[in-house]
Amino acid sequence: MSFELVEEKRCFGGMQLRLKHASATTGTLMRVAVYVPPQAQKGPVPVLYYLSGLTCTEENFTFKAGAQRYAAEHGIMIVAPDTSPRDLALPGEDAAYDFGSGAGFYVDALREPWSSHYRMYTYVTQELPSFIETSFPADRDRRGVFGHSMGGHGALVCAFRNPDRYRSVSAFAPICAPTKSPWGRKAFEGYLGSDTAAWASYDATLLTKQTTWRRPVLVDQGTADEFLERELMPSELEQACRSAGIPLELRMQEGYDHSYYFIASFVGDHIAFHAKALKA
């Protein structure tokens, strides 16, 4: 598949790229950041997909997390897509920070006008890996996924629904029970409609009852996160994983908030966690 290279920078012996490619899934140009570690010069490397949170683009994690150092150390490619299609001129597309642009929520929309383009679940789980694996030295048998907030929700959903496609999953401050949170309910109503049965397939806590995923799950959550009780609800996921027999390690990090300072503090742990699984 072809792509337009927007930016290329040497970084920790590898290359940090930003690019655009035409997506058949969204019907738009999608922007993606790709860190190619130095080990990729010798052959295919594992790939770790990072899903960002509300209002973010492919640049936030790339610029702020400091992940390249750890990816180079472990020989892992990191792929960070944008969080939604862009510039479609849909009614209300840019009216709010938590719906529309920058807020694709990693679902396949069912309601018009969103259903023709806002298909981020299929994009992230199918088209994006296919694009990466045909364009870069990526090992198609060794994929992991992680994310933050809305993207943490997306990472857990992608892994729980596709245990055969991913070897590892982790999250920073994920929206654990979106069918109960204001962010999730607004997005699901807008993209999926009023039938709450359609919402369940995008709620990680509810998916614990169906998934065959039994590999370790790592979640970091700051105790000073302003969204902890209202939006994120990690205790819901903890209880559900315990009931389902899913080995979740929920680390409550004292004094940390929802920002990228929090992510940068623990991203090394997460990449090491994924490296252990991806290289096993």
CB 104 within 8 A of CB 147: no
Q: How many domains are there within the chain?
A: 1
Cα–Cα distance measured from residue 8 to residue 170, given in angstroms and rounded to the nearest whole number? 28
Q: Which pLDDT does position 1 carry in this prediction?
A: 66
Cα–Cα distance measured from residue 58 to residue 68, given in angstroms and rounded to the nearest whole number? 14
Q: Which pLDDT does position 270 carry in this prediction?
A: 98
CB 32 within 8 A of CB 58: yes
Considering the candidates 117, 148, 258, 274, report the single residue annotated as catalytic. Answer: 258
Instruction: Give buried/exposed letters for 59-92 (b at 16+ CB in 10 A, else e).
Output: ebbbeebebbebbbbbbbbbbbbbbbbbebebee
pLDDT (tens, 9 = 90+) of the chain, 280 residues, equals 689 999 999 999 999 999 999 999 999 999 999 999 999 999 999 999 999 999 999 999 999 999 999 999 999 999 999 999 999 999 999 999 999 999 999 999 999 999 999 999 999 999 999 999 999 999 999 999 999 999 999 999 999 999 999 999 999 999 999 999 999 999 999 999 999 999 999 999 999 999 999 999 999 999 999 999 999 999 999 999 999 999 999 999 999 999 999 999 999 999 999 999 999 8
Q: Please indicate whether residue 225 is annotated as part of the active site.
A: yes
Range of the domain at 234: 4-278
Q: Which pLDDT does position 190 carry in this prediction?
A: 98
Q: Which pLDDT does position 211 carry in this prediction?
A: 98
Q: Which pLDDT does position 280 carry in this prediction?
A: 86
Q: Which pLDDT does position 213 carry in this prediction?
A: 98
Considering the candidates 23, 52, 101, 149, report the single residue annotated as catalytic. Answer: 149
Q: How far is CA 60 from the centre of its chain?
A: 13
Cα–Cα distance measured from residue 124 to residue 142, given in angstroms and rounded to the nearest whole number? 15
Q: How far is CA 172 from the centre of its chain?
A: 10
Q: Which sign, positive or negative, has the C-alpha torsion 131, 132, 133, 137?
A: positive
Please name the helix (run of DSSP H) or strand (run of DSSP E) that holds residue 235, with its range, or none.
helix 234-244
Q: Which pLDDT does position 158 carry in this prediction?
A: 98
Considering the candidates 108, 203, 220, 225, report the single residue annotated as catalytic. Answer: 225
State the CATH number of the domain containing residue 90.
3.40.50.1820
Write out the two tokens for 276: 């252990």
Given the structure tokens 């199918």, which residue do they identify?
126
Q: How far is CA 109 from the centre of its chain?
A: 17
Given the structure tokens 């300072």, which residue do they identify?
261
Q: Which pLDDT does position 138 carry in this prediction?
A: 98
- Distances in Å between the Cα of 3 and the Cα atoms of 19, 49, 132, 197, 268 are 7, 18, 11, 38, 30
Strand partners, 217: 169, 248
Q: Which pLDDT does position 196 carry in this prediction?
A: 94
